[in-house]
Structure 1
Amino acid sequence: MRTRVKICGVTRKQDAVAAASAGADAIGFVFYEPSPRYVTAEVARELVSALPPFVSATGLFVNPDAEFVRQILSEVPLDLLQFHGDESPEFCNSFGMRWIKAVRVRQSQDIENAFRDYAKASGLLVDAWDPDKYGGTGQAFNWSLIPETRPMPLILAGGLASDNVFRAVAEVRPWAVDVSGGVESSKGIKDDVKITDFINEVHRVDETD
């Protein structure tokens, strides 16, 4: 199975193009104003328009109002929603679109519970726990907490970069990996070389299988 790659927190057109050219399967846009990677609907619409076919545009939200999500969807042609806060399953499922749910992991039971509670999700993203941050921590977590039995695709995030993603994919065997800070030169500014190195490392695992 080929491991998919999502480059998240893209804020510039050249970074979106570089990620797609390097082989990214999805690009993430953060609609959460406290984030240093936040983009407006206007900026996101321009970035999505620069993407080639078959690269998915993903919108990341953290505890949003339903009206805010609908407003973004009316202005930006997103392919997938990503909920990174404490949203209920009913809320996530209320927009008539495919969605994934992020869970911050402290113990294995957090993942098991999310698989059960968010059963209608297209996938579950597992990230490091931080009491003050909803993702984007730059920290990895104990991958051994991830169960081998997974009722839906699992996306691995949290502290990934080119120097550890080979081991992460080889050990966890996720459906996809999600990276933001690990391919940046500064917050919200992606680095072309880091993006390429990261994606090459992911593909290297697939090639050695």
Structure 2
Amino acid sequence: MSDILTTIIERRLSDIEKLGLEFGCKIPKERSRKVHPFLNEKGLILEVKRASPSKGDIAPNLDSYQTALAYSESGARAISCLTEKNFFKGSLEDLMNVCKAVDDFEKAENDFPKKSPAVLRKDFLLSKEEIEVSFRAGADAVLLIARILTKETFLEMAEEVVRLGLTGLIEVRTDDDLEKLAFVMAHVDKNHFVCGVNSRDLSTFKIDLLRPVMMKEKIVKIMGSDARIIFESGVTTAECAASVGSLGFAGILLGEAAAKNPCMAKEFVHAFENSKKTENASFWLEYAESSWANRAKKTRLKICGFTRSEDAEFSESLGADFLGFVFSDGFARSVTRENRLENLLPILSNLKAKKVAVITETESSEAKKAIEFVKDGIFDVIQLHKIQYEKVNAEILNLPHYFATDNFDEYEKLASKGEMRVLLDLHGKSSENAFTERSKKNIVCEVKWLAGGITPQNAKEILERFKAELIDVSGGVENEGLVGIKDESKLRELCLACLA
């Protein structure tokens, strides 16, 4: 796949050469509006956006003034305006229209004072001169994408942000970006900067909702405990906004969902601003931090379907990260059969790997027992296996959990609800057919967790082909006819292939 970001930059440089840094627009010689503080309180940044490289036209007939007015009335803390013309169909005229709208909103007669949202110029800015143009056009903040800037240029632009009294929204996504961030923050006033992590890879435009969570603590170490960290891209539902809010982000940059449905902006604002930290959020914060720290070392491995304590203990000794136990009488591997659970319980507290309680619905006595085990800390997380999101109540969703599905459309739906990881379980199909089918799907959210048809023989190939973060194996480490009984030699072979 071609690098979309490189193409955007090349086109932009060509336009600057032909049209100049104002792109043919009539920008005032001097700024005429005051500078508004950018995201001093938790809230949403709603985006004026007509199109994108990944989605094509989103809202081609969007009126930037009216949209910004609607966003202001919805309670947005800030408004982001795309000014890139080739792929996002924006302009500096849009930016000035947005500034006029929020100023008109602030001046309108009312019974109580209104806070005008700050305005962010979102573009692929490449020089400090573009910061000055943005300032004159009325922007209160500008986007600085660390990936496309050298350290030296990045610092020059950051210094210009400070000189003009603006705010810089610095976007990072990689170790190299973090190094640049640390370099620049050592030379400027940090109070003029917030930091954003894009869940979308700008080379492929694929979404990974957990990426911003993974980088959160790294940014705090550079910018301090009061760092304002923004979750960028990928939020398309109010449920997802609430999920992100529970993870401690100061803001969300919300693009497509708001641009398509400005009338829903208030719902997004309410969901995010009223979100609270949950046990589920704590689980994913811990998982994200350890994943970032160990991302270059090994794949996560989940072994599932244990019925014997010795198999669970042996799997952990080989390095398995997750151990799965089925709580459903309809499955031959269920621990609720034949007094298996009673035999397993004594050893569970000694296991350091994450213990997963797998349920296939939520109302049976077996499922309720599993849920209580998670509440009590005996198990660490619930796997909601082939259960629809709408059938799970808030109490369960607040507990550590993830969903597993065998349906690609359901996978996308679950990710859109803010589920940080979804296990794609292509059960019963040969691994080759299953993963070929997966590769043909244009899945927006990256598939990171895989299950189904994985064996010690094909695990390494699957990992290399699909760059899986976690694979889940059950029958692949059992001998035929011995359901629920793990084979030590197969476990060793699997672990050697995955964890070496």
* Residues 174-189 of structure 1 aligned to structure 2 (within 5 Å): 174-185=468-479, 186-189=482-485
- What per-residue deviation string (whole Å, max 9, x for no partner) do you get for residues 2-61 of structure 1? 210000000001101111111111110001111110112963364354254530110101
2:369 to 71, 74, 79: 71
Partners of 1:181 and 1:69 in 2: CA distance: 22
Gaps of 5+ in 2: 1-294
2:340 to 43, 46, 50: 43
1:169 to 454, 463, 470: 463
- Matched with 2:454 is 160
Name the SS of the counterpart of 2:455 in structure 1. coil
Deviates more, 1:153-162 or 1:2-11: 153-162
- Matched with 1:55 is 353
Deviates more, 1:175-184 or 1:68-77: 68-77
200 and 31 in structure 1: CA distance in 2 versus 1, 3 angstrom threshold: same
CA-atom RMSD in angstroms: 2.6
Partners of 1:29 and 1:43 in 2: CA distance: 10
Deviates more, 1:183-192 or 1:44-53: 44-53
Partners of 1:87 and 1:98 in 2: CA distance: 17
Q: Which has the higher helix share?
A: 2
1:10 to 303, 306, 326: 306
- What per-residue deviation string (whole Å, max 9, x for no partner) do you get for residues 170-192 of structure 1? 11112211000000122111001
Higher relative contact order (CA 8 A, sep 6+): 1
How far off its partner does 1:97 sit? 1.5
- What per-residue deviation string (whole Å, max 9, x for no partner) do you get for residues 42-85 of structure 1? 63364354254530110101123176533334357110000112
Name the SS of the counterpart of 1:74 in structure 2. helix
1:104 aligns with 2:399: no
Partners of 2:389 and 2:440 in 1: CA distance: 23
1:114 aligns with 2:414: yes
Partners of 1:147 and 1:201 in 2: CA distance: 28
Q: Give the letter aligned to residue 43 of structure 1.
A: R
Partners of 1:43 and 1:31 in 2: CA distance: 11
Count of aligned pairs between the two proteins: 192
- What per-residue deviation string (whole Å, max 9, x for no partner) do you get for residues 91-136 of structure 1? 165223111101113xx5443223113x1x34200011xxxxxx5x
Q: Give the letter aligned to residue 411 of structure 2.
A: I
TM-score scaled to structure 2, two decimals? 0.35
- Matched with 1:127 is 425
Q: Give the letter aligned to residue 36 of structure 1.
A: A
Partners of 2:442 and 2:498 in 1: CA distance: 21
Aligned identity (percent) is 26
194 and 75 in structure 1: CA distance in 2 versus 1, 3 angstrom threshold: same
Partners of 2:384 and 2:478 in 1: CA distance: 22
Partners of 1:98 and 1:122 in 2: CA distance: 11
2:439 to 139, 144, 154: 144
1:94 aligns with 2:395: yes
Contact 2:313 2:351 in 1 (8 A): no
Q: Give the letter aligned to residue 60 of structure 1.
A: V
Gaps of 5+ in 1: 129-134, 205-209
Q: Which has the higher strand share?
A: 1
Partners of 2:440 and 2:497 in 1: CA distance: 23
Q: Give the letter aligned to residue 416 of structure 2.
A: R
138 and 80 in structure 1: CA distance in 2 versus 1, 3 angstrom threshold: farther
Q: Give the letter aligned to residue 421 of structure 2.
A: G
